[in-house]
Chains A and B, each alone.
Chain A
Amino acid sequence: MSAPSQDVATRNGVVVRALIYALLILFAVYYLLPLYVMVVNSLKPLDEIRQGNMLALPQQWTIAPWLSAWSTAQIGVSPTGLKPYFLNSVLMVVPAVAISTVLGALNGYVLTKWRFKGDNIVFGMMLLACFIPFQIVLIPSARILGLLGLAGSVPGLILIHAIYGLGFTTLFFRNYYEAFPTELVRAAQIDGASFFQIFRRILLPSSGPIIVVTVIWQFTNIWNDFLFGSSFSSVDSIPITVALNNLVNSSTGVKEYNVHFAGAILAALPTLIVYIVSGRYFVRGLMAGAVKG
Chain B
Amino acid sequence: MADATATARNAIANPRATLQDLLPKIVLAPSFAVILIFVYGFIAFTAVLSFSGSKLLPDFSTWVGLSNYVRLFNHPNWIVALKNLAIFSILYIVICSVIGLALAIFLDQKIRGEGLLRPIYLYPMALSFIVTGVAWKWFLDPGIGLEHVMQSIGWESFSFRWIKDGKMAIYTIVIAAVWQSSGFVMAMFLAGLRGVDNEIIKAAQIDGASTFVIYRRIIIPLMRPVFLSAFVVLAHLAIKSYDLVVAMTDGGPGTATWTPALFMQKFTFGRNEMGMGAASAIIMMMMIFAIIVPYLYSELGGKKK
Contact = CB atoms under 8 A, between A and B. Distances in A.
A286 B125 contact: yes
A135 B284 contact: yes
Contact of A54 (B124, B149, B183): B149
B247 A133 contact: no
Contact of B120 (A28, A137, A257): A28
Interface string B26-39: 01101110111011
B121 A261 contact: no
A1 interface: no
Contact of B123 (A127, A275, A291): A275
A247 to B, nearest CB: 9
Given A31-B183, A52-B152, A129-B35, A24 B277 contact: no
B6 interface: no
Interface stretch (A59-67, A104-112, A150-158, A207-215): A104-112
Nearest to A164: B38
A136 B285 contact: yes
Contacts of B125: 282, 286
Contacts of B146: 54
Nearest to B122: A283
Nearest to A189: B20
Contact of B46 (A106, A140, A220, A271): A140
B143 to A, nearest CB: 8
* Contact residues on A (Cβ < 8 Å of other chain), bracket: 35 or more
Contact of A110 (B27, B120, B277): B27
29 contacts: A27-B121, A31-B124, A34-B135, A38-B134, A54-B138, A125-B32, A125-B35, A125-B36, A128-B296, A129-B39, A132-B288, A133-B239, A133-B281, A136-B43, A138-B264, A139-B45, A140-B41, A141-B42, A164-B38, A166-B35, A194-B20, A248-B134, A263-B134, A264-B130, A275-B126, A282-B126, A287-B188, A290-B229, A292-B295
Given A122-B32, A125-B39, 20 more contacts: A20-B106, A24-B117, A31-B120, A31-B123, A31-B179, A35-B123, A35-B135, A128-B293, A132-B39, A133-B288, A136-B42, A139-B277, A163-B34, A164-B38, A260-B138, A274-B126, A287-B191, A291-B188, A292-B295, A293-B303
Interface of A: 17, 20-21, 23-24, 27-28, 30-35, 37-38, 41, 49-50, 52-55, 103, 106-107, 109-111, 114, 116, 120, 122, 124-129, 131-141, 143-144, 163-164, 166-167, 170, 194-196, 220, 223-224, 226-227, 230-231, 241, 244-245, 248-249, 257, 260-261, 263-265, 267-268, 271-272, 274-276, 279, 282-283, 286-287, 290-293
